[in-house]
Amino acid sequence: MARKIIAANWKENPKNEKDALKLFRGVAKAANGAVRVILCPPFIYLDEIAHAWKKMHGGRRHKKEEQLALGAQDAFWEEKGAFTSEVGPRMLRGLGMEYVILGHSERRKWMKETDAVINKKIQRALADGLRVILCVGEPLAVRRKGLSAARNHVASQIRRDLAGVASRDRRHLMIAYEPIWAIGTGRYDNPEDACEMAEFIKRKASGGRSARGGGAAGGVPVLYGGSVTSKNIAEYIKYNSIDGALVGGASLKVGEFKKIINITCKI
């Protein structure tokens, strides 16, 4: 069975570089061979954290599939040019980033990112050598209509976000299923429903075929995200189809995040 994946989305946290390095050092020690840990800090801390990573690894460069990998929370769809404040995937690769989170519901909501924009970002990121963690998930109003409405919502996001992405490039993709109503709310999805959704997403993201390779259960790896803590992580990752978790709030507390990693190692 492939290693489970625990990805941390720090969002706009912590408040300064000193705290960011402290958090990095604390959780980096907990990384364990049985789990792949991916940390995604804000842009402004990436350089220092990449340096700290290198120091921890005897000065060597980051390789693909590291046990402890780094990622960004966004990347623009153009390589360079007159795009004030934007950061492109090549710049991130240059810093030693392996992953990028794209399509997070907070960017869809606050930055009005559409599926068309997310699609352009995904294409550029994959072309420029980043691995993509694509976030999808339904709002509460849709979920209230039932699981099949939620599936339709997610299927439409996947179809639009991955339009034109060749199946060979999907090897560098994973999808985080994050029901919007579960993000940062303390309300988490029923693990059985999340597992069914993960299977559905694998089928959709591999064009209906059950592709080989990539995740623990084959196909595109699918993470669950939304109020994951040390109390509920085991309920999700016990399923083969759930390849890991994308953790927000609980990834900011060293002790709690270590517990999540340790529990995942034992599954």
Give me the active site residues, please.
104, 178
Task: Decide if residue 123 touches ligand PGA (CB under 6 A).
Answer: no
Q: Which of 91, 126, 195, 247 binds ligand PGA (CB under 6 A)?
A: 247
- Residue 36: half-sphere exposure toward Cβ, Cα within 13 Å: 22
Contact call for residues 136 and 176 (beta carbons, < 8 A): yes
Nearer to ligand PGA, 61 or 110 (CB): 110
How wide is the angle at C-alpha 19 spanned by C-alphas 49 and 31, nearest 5°?
A: 55
How would you classify the pairing of strands 35-40 and 244-247?
unpaired
**Distance in Å, CB of 127 to ligand PGA, minimum:** 25
- Cα–Cα distances in angstroms (integers) from residue 240 to residues 2, 4, 157, 159, 225, in the given order: 10, 9, 23, 24, 16
Three-class SS state of 163 = coil
**Distance in Å, CB of 228 to ligand PGA, minimum:** 5
Return the residues of window 152-181 that contact ligand PGA according to CB under 6 A: 178
Nearer to ligand PGA, 6 or 50 (CB): 6
Contact range with ligand PGA by CB under 6 A, out of 19-27, 67-75, 198-206, 246-254 = 246-254
Return the residues of window 2-41 that contact ligand PGA according to CB under 6 A: 9
Task: Decide if residue 249 touches ligand PGA (CB under 6 A).
Answer: yes
Nearer to ligand PGA, 214 or 249 (CB): 249
First to last CA, the chain: 11
Nearer to ligand PGA, 225 or 244 (CB): 225
Which two three-digit tokens encode residue 78? 């153009």
Rg of the chain over all Cα atoms, to the nearest angstrom: 17
Residue with tokens 């109020």, as numbered in its chain? 227
**Distance in Å, CB of 103 to ligand PGA, minimum:** 11
**Distance in Å, CB of 176 to ligand PGA, minimum:** 7
Task: Decide if residue 184 touches ligand PGA (CB under 6 A).
Answer: yes
Q: How far apart are CA 56 and CA 33, in angstroms?
A: 15
Q: How far apart are CA 113 and CA 222, in angstroms?
A: 22
Nearer to ligand PGA, 100 or 183 (CB): 183
Contact call for residues 150 and 180 (beta carbons, < 8 A): no
Which two three-digit tokens encode residue 98? 């392996």
Q: Which of 165, 246, 260, 261 binds ligand PGA (CB under 6 A)?
A: 246
Return the residues of window 186-245 that contact ligand PGA according to CB under 6 A: 225-228
Binding site for ligand PGA (CB under 6 A): 9, 178, 183-184, 225-228, 246-250
